[in-house]
């Protein structure tokens, strides 16, 4: 049961401050572009609305789902409750030292706009995370990462509302328990907290650039950049991403559909004897981190299309909606891929994307 914040039984302000939409299509609220409906939807644009919202949820006794940019979610059925779009805006400098700035961004800020603002101000630490779809508030949930950088590297703290008590709590990096595409909020904290704002510690000078991943340094050399700045690195990554990852505005997708699997050294050795080219990197756990895209590609799925669901032709890790695919079309394709990779390589692919709704309803 949710905690009820004491409010007058009837508070007209509630009706003026929060608009609750009914029977609304979620197509424009998820980057897969899945056309399901939600019984209710509201946009939360200020923390002041929170007490009213918690009260509404308590009274309605309906399920709720917190949605941000909708870039890591697959809806597989209509939603019977209320979708809460966390949409609070605002970015401010909260502190600075000679070397660092501490920048707090509200959860509803678009991630790429935030990256761009940091680049414009010459604040370093998230430049490799350019063009990742989604909002600031969900970036810590799955510890977003790309090109050798993760959000945990420049994260300072976040503020989150505990839905049960109505209390706002502060979490530092350790309390967030970041892992590879993992955090406390994706596990024990799931559905219990609403992330309100995130504070980053970014460099103001002596930036520590990370250009070792993949072809970043080669690309910089190719364009004749010898002493790259933040923008140079971001721009190279932008062009690499644009060349192989589909833009959700043009082709529905949620980025990587699966996580890169960890396998034992013994299992990896067996695979290497048959496939010497298989990518693999030692992980802190002592296992080997391999590439989900490689397995999917090798199993013959890259570019596969069945009706309107498919596997992207440039990046096998990305499942796509060519227009009218349902959530279940995408989900069942993902299960076929999991089954085939398991049969061929004895490797389990774990979903990165959150599936919402009744399975196969
Ligand atoms: N590969 C293939 N076939 C493909 C694509 C890749 O065989 O179609 C192999 C290649 O050998 C390549 C390896 O897979 O060397 C790894 O590919 P890549 O460097 O493109 O990255 P990834 O592991 O597939 C991860 C993230 C992406 C992120 C890129 C770049 C995960 C689950 N995905 O993908 O994140 O952009 O690295 O850092 O960790 C996302 O999370 O939505 C996302 C796009």
Q: If pLDDT is split at 50, 70 and 90, which confidence band does 2 have?
A: very low
Query: What φ, ψ does residue 190 adopt, rounded to 5°?
Result: -60, 135
Are 252 and 338 part of one and the same domain? yes
CA 304 to CA 315: how far, in whole Å?
11
Question: Atom 42 of ligand 1 has which residue's CA nearest to it?
Answer: 255
Q: Mean pLDDT throughout 121-135?
A: 97
Residues 6+ apart with CB under 8 A from 139: 111, 129, 132, 151, 198
Q: Mean pLDDT throughout 273-291?
A: 95
The residue among 267, 283, 260 whose CA lies nearest residue 351 is 260
CATH number of the structural domain spanning residue 56: 3.30.43.10
CB 129 within 8 A of CB 151: yes
- Cβ–ligand 1 distance for 127 under 6 Å, the answer no
- 185: pLDDT strictly greater than 70: yes
CA 317 to CA 302: how far, in whole Å?
8
Are 225 and 157 part of one and the same domain? yes
Are 99 and 200 part of one and the same domain? yes
Model pLDDT for residues 83-110, shown as the tens digit of each residue: 999 999 999 999 999 999 999 999 999 9
Q: Mean pLDDT throughout 212-240?
A: 94
Between residues 275 and 14, which one has the greater pLDDT? 275
Are 207 and 335 part of one and the same domain? no
- 11: pLDDT strictly greater than 70: no
- 165: pLDDT strictly greater than 60: yes
Are 215 and 306 part of one and the same domain? no
Which numbered atom of ligand 1 lies nearest the CA of 128? Answer: 38
Pocket test for ligand 1, best of 256, 283, 299, 303 (most atoms within 8 A of CB): 256
Are 175 and 105 part of one and the same domain? yes
Are 141 and 209 part of one and the same domain? yes
Query: Domain boundary at 32, 58, 86, which?
Result: 86
Ligand 1 centroid from CA 291, angstroms: 7
pLDDT computed for residue 115 by the predictor: 98
Ligand 1 centroid from CA 213, angstroms: 11
pLDDT computed for residue 8 by the predictor: 40
pTM: 0.91
pLDDT computed for residue 7 by the predictor: 42
CA 214 to CA 315: how far, in whole Å?
15
* Number of separate domains in the chain: 3
pLDDT computed for residue 17 by the predictor: 63
Which numbered atom of ligand 1 lies nearest the CA of 291? Answer: 14
Range of the domain at 354: 248-360
Q: Mean pLDDT throughout 47-68?
A: 90
Are 197 and 326 part of one and the same domain? no
Are 98 and 78 part of one and the same domain? no
Are 114 and 234 part of one and the same domain? yes
- Cβ–ligand 1 distance for 289 under 6 Å, the answer no
Euclidean distance between the first and final Cα of the chain, in Å? 27
Residues 6+ apart with CB under 8 A from 195: 86, 107, 137, 138, 140, 141, 158, 159, 160, 185
Are 96 and 237 part of one and the same domain? yes
């Amino acid at each position: 049961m949710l905690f009820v914040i004491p409010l007058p039984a009837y508070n007209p302000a509630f009706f003026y401050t929060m608009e609750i939409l009914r029977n609304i299509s979620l197509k424009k609220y998820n980057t897969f572009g899945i056309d399901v409906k939600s019984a209710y939807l509201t946009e939360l644009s200020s923390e002041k609305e929170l007490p009213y919202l918690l009260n509404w949820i308590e009274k309605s006794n309906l399920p709720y789902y917190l949605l941000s940019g909708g870039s890591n979610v697959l809806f597989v059925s209509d939603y019977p409750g209320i979708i809460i779009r966390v949409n609070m805006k605002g970015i401010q400098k909260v502190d600075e030292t000679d070397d660092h700035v501490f920048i707090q961004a509200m959860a509803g800020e678009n991630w790429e706009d935030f990256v761009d603002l940091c680049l414009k101000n010459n604040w370093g630490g998230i430049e490799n995370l350019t063009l990742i779809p989604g909002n600031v508030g969900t970036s810590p949930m799955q510890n977003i990462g790309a090109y050798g950088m993760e959000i945990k590297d420049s994260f300072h703290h976040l503020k989150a509302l505990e839905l049960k008590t109505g209390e706002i709590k502060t979490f530092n990096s350790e309390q967030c328990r970041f892992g590879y595409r993992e955090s406390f909020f994706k596990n024990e904290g799931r559905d219990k907290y609403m992330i309100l704002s995130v504070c980053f510690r970014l460099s103001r000078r002596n930036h520590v650039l990370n250009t070792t991943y993949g072809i970043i340094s080669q690309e910089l050399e190719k364009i004749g950049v010898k002493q790259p700045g933040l923008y140079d690195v971001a721009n190279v990554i932008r062009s690499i991403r644009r060349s192989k990852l589909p833009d959700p505005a043009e082709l529905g997708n949620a980025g990587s559909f699966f996580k890169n699997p960890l396998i034992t050294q013994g299992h990896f050795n067996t695979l290497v004897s048959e496939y010497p080219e298989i990518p693999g990197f030692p992980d802190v756990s002592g296992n080997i981190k391999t590439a989900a895209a490689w397995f999917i590609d090798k199993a013959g799925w890259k570019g596969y299309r069945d009706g309107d669901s498919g596997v992207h032709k440039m990046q096998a890790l990305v499942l796509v909606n060519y227009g009218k695919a349902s959530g279940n079309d995408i989900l069942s394709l993902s299960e076929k891929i999991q089954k085939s990779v398991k049969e061929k390589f004895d490797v389990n692919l774990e979903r990165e994307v959150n599936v919402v709704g009744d399975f196969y309803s």
